[in-house]
Chains A and B, each alone.
Chain A
Amino acid sequence: MIHTSTAADPTTTPPPGTKRSTYFYIAVALISLIGLADATYLTIEHITGQSVRCTIVAGCSEVLSSKYALVAGVPLAMIGATAYFSVFSLATLAAFGYRFAGKLLNVLVAFMLLVSLWLIYLQAFVIHSFCQYCLLSAAVTFVAAALLFLRWRNS
Chain B
Amino acid sequence: MRRILPFLIILSVLGVALGSAWYLKRSASSQPASGPSVSSNSTGSTKPPPPPLTAPGAEPPHAAGPANAPVTLEEFGDFECPPCGQFHPVLKKMQEGFGDNLHVIFREFPLAPAHQHAIAAASTAEAAGIQGRFWEMHHLLYDNQKTWHEAFDARPIFEGYAKQIGLDVEMFKRDINSDLVAHRITEDGKRAHSLGVSGTPTVFMNGREMPFATIIDEAKLRTAIQTEIDARKR
Contacts and interface: CB of A to CB of B under 8 A. Distances in A.
Given A36-B13, A85-B17, A44 B82 contact: no
Interface bracket on B? 20 to 34
Interface in B1-35: 2-3, 5-6, 9-10, 13-14, 17, 20-21, 24-25, 28-29
Interface stretch (B54-62, B91-99, B208-216): B208-216
B153 to A, nearest CB: 16
Interface residues of A, number: 34
A54 B25 contact: no
Contacts of A98: 6
Question: Interface on chain A toward B: helix, strand, loop, or mixed SS?
Answer: helix
Contact of B13 (A33, A43, A53, A61): A33
A134 to B, nearest CB: 15
B114 A3 contact: no
Contacts of A52: 83, 212, 216
A145 B78 CA distance: 40
Interface in A22-73: 33, 36-37, 40-41, 43-45, 47-50, 52-57, 59, 61-62, 65
Contact of A89 (B3, B10, B20, B84): B10
Contacts of A54: 78, 81-84, 111, 114-115, 199-200
A36 B10 contact: no
A48 B82 contact: no
Given A37-B20, A85-B13, A53 B212 contact: yes
A59 B111 CA distance: 9
B147 interface: no
A124 to B, nearest CB: 15
A14 to B, nearest CB: 12
B114 A56 contact: yes
A81 interface: yes
A81 to B, nearest CB: 7
B5 A48 contact: no
A50 B21 contact: no
A6 B24 CA distance: 41
B198 interface: yes
A96 B81 contact: no
Interface residue SS majority, chain B: helix
B28 A55 contact: no
Contacts of A88: 10, 13
Contacts of B86: 65
Contacts of A112: none
Contacts of A116: none
A6 B83 CA distance: 57
Contacts of B111: 54-56, 59
A93 interface: yes
Interface in B204-234: 211-213, 216
14 contacts: A36-B17, A47-B25, A50-B28, A53-B81, A53-B212, A54-B83, A54-B115, A54-B199, A54-B200, A55-B111, A61-B81, A85-B17, A88-B13, A96-B2
Interface of B: 2-3, 5-6, 9-10, 13-14, 17, 20-21, 24-25, 28-29, 78, 81-84, 86, 111, 114-115, 198-202, 211-213, 216
Given A56-B114, A61-B81, 13 more contacts: A37-B17, A40-B21, A49-B213, A52-B83, A52-B212, A53-B199, A53-B200, A54-B78, A54-B111, A55-B199, A88-B10, A92-B6, A92-B10
